[in-house]
Structure 1
Amino acid sequence: MAATEMTLMDEPDRLRLALTPIRRRLLARLREPGSAVRLAAELDLPRQRVNYHLKALEQAGLIELVEERPRRGFTERVMRATANAFLVDPGVLTPSGGDGRDDGGRDDGGFRRIADRYAAEHLVDVAAGTVREVTRMAGAADRQGVRLLTFTLEAEVRFGAPDDVHRFTDELAEAVARVAARFDTPGGRPYRLVAGGHPTPAAQGAEDDS
């Protein structure tokens, strides 16, 4: 079975195990199958040391056995990462810790709840929840051999004054509410729509010149 596209790293112990420099290199390399013998040669490391790290990654479920090959004097185990990308749950790195869920069942990731929709912290909170939920659902869909149906909208707008941001947000909220009301179907599958805005980062060259 092919590796899943994305896996959410939401367990602190598992995350610490995977974040050492050599294990990050091994996980990146093992997007394609490889053995300790080949990896040791590529990374210029002793095979015993590579085997040690591979065993730890396998026990954590981050890599898996795909093939065994008889070699003179030993059996060569060919391993592969269980996902093409490992995404860190932002809630794992927040001070509050916990299980990443609020009383309403929606993941909170350890972020402080902020009601102000113009606060940067609120945007980060919502974005973190989106990463967490979509990654989990995409992984589950991948394991079932189906595609998770999502959509992404992106746009760029240049505001002449700070007050324009508030007026734009109010009008956009009204427009979204009208469209959502048109398509809302009792008994249909609910979707969560998130719209956020932030200043476009300056180009690298502009930052260097400033």
Structure 2
Amino acid sequence: MKDIEVIEDPRIAEVSLDPMRSQILESLVEPASASTVAGRIGAPRQKINYHLKALESAGLVQLVEERRKGNMTERVMQSSAASYLISPLALASMAPKPEKYSDRFSAFWLLALAGRLVTEVGKLIVGAVAARKPLATFAIDAELSFASARDRAAFAQELSAVVDSLVEKYHDAGTPGARRHRLVVALHPELKNTAEPADKDQDHE
């Protein structure tokens, strides 16, 4: 079973987005039969079997083993991955394109970059698995709070300068065989708990 499966086919994306099927996929991270899944999520076994057929046809669940129970055969299934991510390629014609935006402070540009990141890394993972080679990636995830919008703007400016300096220092397009990499740095407000009071400045400063 894969850790993450990136879904690029719109037909498979449609199959996976059904709420009941999402529950089944989550339940089948550990192998189980239709009757076991039905007990876990509180749904009739016949309904689970119907959705399992669709998921199996889409390649989202796989047969692990078949067990004889009296005069019946029980099929034990497992999800093809521990988690799933739908690539923007599933809606390629509607996916946001980074080249349409150029403002570093545009949330739309950030979203377009994130979509491209999912698409490209998803393809790289598939290629690395097929080639049985490790994939060289690096990521940083940090949380920070700013005392004011002015501090946030100063941080963004300083971060940009540092990144630009590092890119200029290490970028080498002249060496034969040099492998191109893509660097994406993002800063965005953290989602708030609905119980928390609204931010007074709402990021308009």
With the length of structure 2 as denominator, give the TM-score of the two structures. 0.78
Supply the distance in 1 between the matched residues of 2:13 and 2:89 (Cα, whole angstroms). Answer: 12
Deviation at 1:114, TM superposition (A): 1.0
Deviation at 1:188, TM superposition (A): 2.9
- Give the partner amino acid of 1:26: I
Deviation at 1:41, TM superposition (A): 3.2
Residue equivalent to 2:30: 32
Deviation at 1:125, TM superposition (A): 0.8
Q: Decide whether aligned partners of structure 1 residues 172 and 144 sit closer, same or farther in structure 2, where only a CA change above 3 A counts.
A: same
Q: What is the aligned-residue RMSD (CA, Å)?
A: 2.9
Selected match of 2:138 from 124, 142, 151: 151
| Secondary structure, counterpart of 1:179 in structure 2 | helix
Q: Decide whether aligned partners of structure 1 residues 5 and 139 sit closer, same or farther in structure 2, where only a CA change above 3 A counts.
A: farther
- The within-5 A match list for 1:93-108 is 97-98=92-93
- Give the partner amino acid of 1:189: R
Selected match of 1:132 from 93, 116, 119: 119
Report which stretch shifted further, 123-132 or 44-53: 44-53
Selected match of 1:196 from 175, 179, 186: 186
Identical aligned pairs, as a percentage? Answer: 34
- Give the partner amino acid of 2:146: R
- The within-5 A match list for 1:155-166 is 155=142, 156=144, 158=146, 160-162=148-150, 165=153
Number of matched residues? 195
Deviation at 1:36, TM superposition (A): 1.4
- Give the partner amino acid of 1:117: R
Q: Decide whether aligned partners of structure 1 residues 171 and 47 sit closer, same or farther in structure 2, where only a CA change above 3 A counts.
A: closer
Tell me, which stretches of 5 or more residues in structure 1 are unaligned? 101-108
Q: Decide whether aligned partners of structure 1 residues 207 and 131 sit closer, same or farther in structure 2, where only a CA change above 3 A counts.
A: farther
Selected match of 2:74 from 67, 70, 76: 76
Residue equivalent to 2:203: none
Selected match of 2:110 from 100, 107, 123: 123
Q: Decide whether aligned partners of structure 1 residues 84 and 162 sit closer, same or farther in structure 2, where only a CA change above 3 A counts.
A: same
With the length of structure 1 as denominator, give the TM-score of the two structures. 0.77
1:145-182 residue CA offsets vs partner (Å, 9 max, x unmatched): 444222122443626445962x5444433322332343
Supply the distance in 2 between the matched residues of 1:14 and 1:154 (Cα, whole angstroms). Answer: 30
